[in-house]
Amino acid sequence: MDRKQIAEKFEDVWDEIRSRSYYIVGVLLLVFFPFLLVTPGSILSEPFSILNSFYSGGSIPILSDLFNLGQEIGLFGKNAYLLNIIALCLIWAIFAASWDFLSGYTGQVSFGHAIFWGFSAYVTFWVATGVPIGITFDPLDPIVLGIPILDEILGSLIFLINAFIDFIFIITNEILVFIFGSNFMRPPLAALVVGAFTSAIFAVGIGFIALRVKGPYLALVTLLLPLIASQIVVIMTDLFGPKYGIPFISGPFVVERISPFDLPPDLMGRASEINELNFFIFVLVIFFISVFLMMLVAYSRIGLAFQSIREDEDAAESLGINVRFYKILAFAGSAFFAGLAGGLFSQYLRFTGPSFFASSFSFSIIIMCVIGGIGSISGGVVGAFVLTILLELFLKDIFHGVQSLDLLGYGILLIVTLRYMPFGLARASKDQKKACIVGVLFAISWTIIPIGEGWGTNIIASLSSSLPLGTDVLSNILSVSFETLTSYMGKVDYMGQITSSLSDGDILMTLSFVLIFTFGLIASVVFFFAEIIGLFFMGDILGLSRSWTYEDLIKAKFLIYVAVGIPFAFYLPKAFKKVRLRFWGVWPSAGRYEPD
């Protein structure tokens, strides 16, 4: 092969990789995240689990230092809280992607996907611990009318009805006990898989109902199904357990029985952390497998058939696509993965209950998919991550004790996304994606970087006093940076005299500070909106600052900086381009064609 051809080929491959760079970085972060948690130098003396390799090698010190720093700030919470949150994100991502598989790809809009989620949670419980034996039925009381002959007839009728219902109860119980067994433990992983498969079979039945109705009517029917299911669960307490739910569902790979004293000395007292890491890795594996399978189907010819049904059912059928079969296939596949997520969620919470059928679960995943981008499995994943992190890490701490926060936050974000990126985050234009990332980085830099040794103490001091937030922080930052700036100007010896003039390094440093300040001047708009208006509004007018700890304040600050920083990062290059064209013509990028 010619050298030029090889170069072209590599360029093609590189283009393919570059266009997926966001996903690749995300996956790498997910996989290598556990390394961040391990402090350097913790080496196991004896083999403990399959995760030995993670612990024995130590990790990159800089990353774990960063993690420790974050933990000190309180960004991640205590005891690998962030790992838990990301496990939750992964579970939601499977669930949202399963909705996208059915509604985004096949166009069968389901407003009650929680039915598969809850159904599978209960089946997982049954399989893991068995069905309770001896389901009883309260017999109907005989009706006494006073006429002996009628009473006898009615009495015998009611006796027959009672016997019949009792018989049905006993038979169903026997069958369920025969299938699931009773009162013993099965491995939770097996329970999970069985739950998912049962959910898929259940979905085939729902699919047959769904064939009869289309469009908004299907949405209505699916909206009602989980409500009915939750009522059935509440009524049939013998079968489904008490109506407040069943606690103590065991999770997979959880080493509860090992007491903290059995652990090697390095890991003493870190049993819960190890449990969480184990669960995280387990969920991660399930997530990769299920998203891979869903993408495999969605990008294959089956996915094409699904899409054709979404676009035009009649046209697809006239071209030989078996619409009924593919619809039921989509229902079953979607329910399988929704069931997987449901079982995982019940193992995550160690709890199953009628609340699993709540419609807020169904709506949450719809909003996740819309924000991430409907009709692309990855969209659901992106949306699930953004929303779950937003809710669990930020909103819950910023607004203490406010009910149904999730739908409030999701709703606002949904409106904004629909206005500016109607096809979702995954399909936003390149400028918008860049603006999102730059905005988040910007927010991180403004919230985390000043909390080092010198700056942080000042800010903490200013925060602990109950002065107005914005102005004080500003003055602090200005004074500190002025000090650092002047310290480079000239060196003062022990006699108090300036000994040396400016060296080359000093000039460089000064120039760099000048640059930073020039950009900082532009960013002062953001600073004004975020720090003064945003924090003043949230903290003082809404009165949230009374319940805020220092960590919550940082979270609120971060959130406001993201909200202001993303539009700033989006419009700044455009404004800069306009100014540039006005004053310099096309000078900074001469010769490059830039269509607007």
Partner 1 sequence: MTIDTISESTQTSKHVILKVSSLSKHFKGLKAVNNVNLSVKSGELIGIIGPNGAGKTTFFNLISGFLKPEKGSKIMFNGDNIVGKRPHKLAKLGIARTFQLVRPFKFLNALENTTVPHIPKNTYVSSSVLKNKATWSLIEVDLAEKKNYPAFILPHGDLKRLDFARSLAVQPQLLLLDEPFSGLSHEEAFRVERLIRESNNKGMTIIIVEHKLKILMRLVQRVFVLHEGRLIGEGSPQEISNNQEVISAYLGSEAKEYV
Footprint on this chain of partner 1 (rule: CB under 8 A): 300-301, 304-305, 307-308, 311-312, 314-324, 375
Alpha carbons 592 and 587: distance in angstroms, whole number: 10
Q: Tell me if 394 sits within 8 A of 558, measured CB to CB.
A: yes
CB of 321 to partner 1, least distance (A): 6
Number of Cβ within 10 Å of residue 150's Cβ equals: 12
Q: Judged by CB, which is closer to partner 1: 103, or 124?
A: 103
Query: Phi then psi for 492, rounded to 5 degrees?
Result: -105, 125
Q: Which of 366, 319, 346 has the alpha carbon at shortest distance from 108? A: 366
Number of Cβ within 10 Å of residue 117's Cβ equals: 30
What is the four-CA torsion angle of 20, 393, 550, 474, rounded to 10 degrees? 40
Q: Tell me if 558 sits within 8 A of 447, measured CB to CB.
A: yes
Alpha carbons 15 and 313: distance in angstroms, whole number: 36
Provide the greatest CA pair distance for the chain: 122
Q: Tell me if 306 sits within 8 A of 106, measured CB to CB.
A: yes
CB of 325 to partner 1, least distance (A): 9
CB of 81 to partner 1, least distance (A): 41
Q: Which helix (H) or strand (E) holds 377?
A: helix 377-389
Q: Judged by CB, which is closer to partner 1: 188, or 303?
A: 303
Q: Judged by CB, which is closer to partner 1: 76, or 105?
A: 105
CB of 386 to partner 1, least distance (A): 24
Q: Which two tokens stand for residue 130?
A: 């068995």
CB of 299 to partner 1, least distance (A): 10
Q: Judged by CB, which is closer to partner 1: 104, or 343?
A: 104
Residue 142 is classified by DSSP as P
Q: Which amino acid is at 380?
A: G
CB of 375 to partner 1, least distance (A): 7
Q: Judged by CB, which is closer to partner 1: 226, or 375?
A: 375
CB of 423 to partner 1, least distance (A): 10
Q: Which amino acid is at 187?
A: P
CB of 34 to partner 1, least distance (A): 37
- Measured CA to CA in angstroms, residue 587 lies from 576, 580, 582 at distances of 13, 8, 11
Alpha carbons 525 and 177: distance in angstroms, whole number: 67
How would you write 379-430 as a 3-class SS string? HHHHHHHHHHHHHHHHHHHHCCCCCCHHHHHHHHHHHHHHHHCCCCHHHCCH
Q: Judged by CB, which is closer to partner 1: 106, or 198?
A: 106
CB of 212 to partner 1, least distance (A): 15
Q: Judged by CB, which is closer to partner 1: 353, or 424?
A: 424
Q: Which two tokens stand for residue 25?
A: 């970085």
Q: Judged by CB, which is closer to partner 1: 297, or 554?
A: 297
CB of 427 to partner 1, least distance (A): 11
Alpha carbons 482 and 476: distance in angstroms, whole number: 10
Q: Tell me if 34 sits within 8 A of 86, measured CB to CB.
A: no
Q: Judged by CB, which is closer to partner 1: 232, or 319?
A: 319
Q: Judged by CB, which is closer to partner 1: 213, or 239?
A: 213
* Residue 344 CB contacts under 8 Å (≥ 6 apart), including other chains: 91, 94, 192, 283, 286
Q: Tell me if 122 sits within 8 A of 226, measured CB to CB.
A: no
CB of 517 to partner 1, least distance (A): 48
Q: Judged by CB, which is closer to partner 1: 28, or 304?
A: 304
